[in-house]
Structures are given as C-alpha cells and as structure tokens.
C-alpha cells in the first residue's frame, strides 16, 4: 500500500532502516485502524484478507 510506503519513506530514517514491515502494522502504528477502503473485494470479511509479502 502506498500509504504505508509513504510513512516509511518520509519517516524517521533511523527508526525504519534495516527492517521489514507489514503494511497494516505500519498504518496501525500511525493510528489508522479501518482498512476496509483498501479491500479490492468488498464481499470479503476483514479476517479473509490475504497477506502479501514483497521483497
């Protein structure tokens, strides 16, 4: 998600350097708790979201 990438890129470099992050954890740390608008399939429940890992 671009929002999480933006948080990491524009954040404190020493805090984010050398780590692996999961989008929803980064956004949750910024106070964002509602991820429904990120779902592509609105019929899926929140627990049915599939995690994706990019290297």
Task: Please report the pLDDT score of residue 48 as a whole number.
Answer: 61
Is 31 within the bounds of a domain? yes
Residues spanned by the domain of 39? 2-48
Greater model confidence, 32 or 51: 32
Residue 34 lies in a domain: yes
* Model confidence at 5: pLDDT above 80: yes
List strand residue ranges (DSSP E) for the chain, in order. Answer: none
Asked whether residue 14 is domain-assigned, the answer is yes
Q: Is 44 a domain residue? A: yes
Q: In total, how many domains does the chain have? A: 1
Given a cut of 70, whether residue 53 has pLDDT beyond it is no
pTM for this entry: 0.61
Residues 48, 13: Cα–Cα separation, whole Å: 33
**7-47 residue pLDDT tens:** 888 887 777 778 888 888 888 998 988 887 877 777 777 66
**12, part of any domain:** yes
Closest alpha carbon to 53 in 12, 29, 20, 31: 20
Q: With beta carbons less than 8 A apart as the criterion, state whether 7 and 30 touch.
A: yes
């Amino acid at each position: 998600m671009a929002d999480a990438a933006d948080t990491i890129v524009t954040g404190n470099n020493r805090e984010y350097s050398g780590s692996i992050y999961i989008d929803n954890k980064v956004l949750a740390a910024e106070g964002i708790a509602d991820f429904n608008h990120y779902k592509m399939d609105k019929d899926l429940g929140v627990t049915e979201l599939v995690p994706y890992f990019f290297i």
